[in-house]
Amino acid sequence: MTSTLSGELQRRVEDRIRYWRVAVERSVETPSSVIVFGKRAGQPVALKVVRSPSDEWRSGETLDHFDGRGVVRAYEYIDGAVMMEHLIPGESLVKTALSGKDDEATEILADVIARMSPRRPIHGMPTIQDWSMAFDSYGRSGDTQIPAKLVSHGGQVYNELCATQSQPRLLHGDLHHYNVLSDSKRGWLAIDPKGVVGEVAYEIGAALRNPVERPSVFAERSVIQKRLQRFGRALNLDVQRMLAWGFAQAVLSAIWTVEDEGTIEPTNPSLALAETIRPMLGSLG
């Protein structure tokens, strides 16, 4: 391990390496975590240590509740750290979507969602209702970077969907192309769950606003319609309800961008998606 990490984070990483008996081969740093690749008892593993409490702090516990169904398997975990199977080759679904195979990528995402069957909700896990508080917080902040009418409409749709949801269960909470990786033995699998309780239709929202670097792909009306039709057929979900979730979550994503970064560009991909979907919305029934 390198010594470029802060003292406390370095200690946490070294503790997990020692306690979980990982023979280190290489490590990488991301803005949110440190990932160590190596082996334990000859088995390839990936050890992830989150830098600070965040929405991935309990990702190991969330993965464990999916028990390998549609997700990477968690072998060991504590709050802030998880040791998982190492997915090989580990290519993300982004490459498929950006190579002219968006329909195929959508089918893969739908299949992953269909396989993700949690054993039970996790005690104390946030709900999608909890996340709705960001709309009110933004309204009180005085920030004007996101149009007030868009925030108001997004919050209204979000709260209406929360109030009428059916069969809430544990969800990944951030399931999109970057968080689905390939494995030569087990196929496509989800990684890095946030963990939130809500209806399955909520899960589609993150996929609709990705791959984030290509809004020309996902913010086109025809692409949105094609994606929703495929999700609807594969998962037996209502297209209009998924569309409404896509709109409300796109606005929420823009709000989170302001919270995290302080500023947001007028060309922000989430805002582009929200503006495209808004005139497509109808009654939720």
- Shared domain for 26 and 149, answered yes or no, is no
Domain of residue 170, residue span: 91-280
- Residue that finishes a domain, picked among 37, 62, 86: 86
Half-sphere exposure of 36 (CA within 13 A, CB side): 26
- Shared domain for 37 and 152, answered yes or no, is no
C-alpha 205: how far from its chain's center?
9
* Domain-embedded: residue 12: yes
- Shared domain for 111 and 12, answered yes or no, is no
pLDDT tens-place string over residues 192-246: 999 999 999 999 999 999 999 988 889 999 999 999 999 999 999 999 999 999 9
- Shared domain for 200 and 108, answered yes or no, is yes
* Domain-embedded: residue 1: no
- Shared domain for 17 and 65, answered yes or no, is yes
pTM here is 0.94
DSSP alpha helix (H) spans, 35-124: 59-66, 94-98, 102-115
- Residue that finishes a domain, picked among 31, 59, 86: 86
Helix or strand run (H / E) with residue 206: helix 204-208
- Shared domain for 137 and 232, answered yes or no, is yes
* DSSP letter for each residue of 141-190: HT--SS-HHHHHHHHHHHHHHHHT--S-EEE-SS-SGGGEEEETTTEEEE
In this structure, how many other beta carbons lie within 10 angstroms of the beta carbon of residue 265?
A: 10
- Residue that finishes a domain, picked among 37, 53, 86: 86
* Domain-embedded: residue 190: yes
Residues 6 or more apart whose CB falls under 8 angstroms from that of 93 comprise 105, 108, 109, 177, 178, 180, 181, 182, 188
Half-sphere exposure of 81 (CA within 13 A, CB side): 18
- Shared domain for 249 and 122, answered yes or no, is yes
Is residue 277 within 8 Å of 269, Cβ to Cβ? no
Q: What is the DSSP code (8-state) at residue 278?
A: G
In the predicted model, residues of the chain with pLDDT beneath 50 are 2, 285
CA 160 – CA 247 distance, rounded (Å): 13
Q: Which of 205, 70, 196 is nearest to 127 (CA)?
A: 196
Is residue 49 within 8 Å of 13, Cβ to Cβ? yes
CA 124 – CA 104 distance, rounded (Å): 36
Strand pairing class (169-171; 89-92): unpaired
- Shared domain for 70 and 143, answered yes or no, is no
Q: How many domains does the chain have?
A: 2
* Domain-embedded: residue 2: no
We report the CATH number of the domain holding residue 32 as 3.30.200.20
Residues 6 or more apart whose CB falls under 8 angstroms from that of 91 comprise 181, 182
pLDDT at 4: 63
User: What is the SS3 assignment for 26?
Assistant: strand
Burial-class residue 2 by CB neighbours within 10 Å (0-12, 13-18, 19+). exposed
Q: Structure tokens of 125?
A: 């896990």
- Shared domain for 52 and 126, answered yes or no, is no
- Shared domain for 48 and 105, answered yes or no, is no
Residue 157 φ/ψ, nearest 5 degrees = -65, -45
* Domain-embedded: residue 17: yes
Is residue 157 within 8 Å of 240, Cβ to Cβ? no
- Shared domain for 249 and 113, answered yes or no, is yes
Q: Which of 240, 65, 244 is nearest to 162 (CA)?
A: 244
* Domain-embedded: residue 285: no
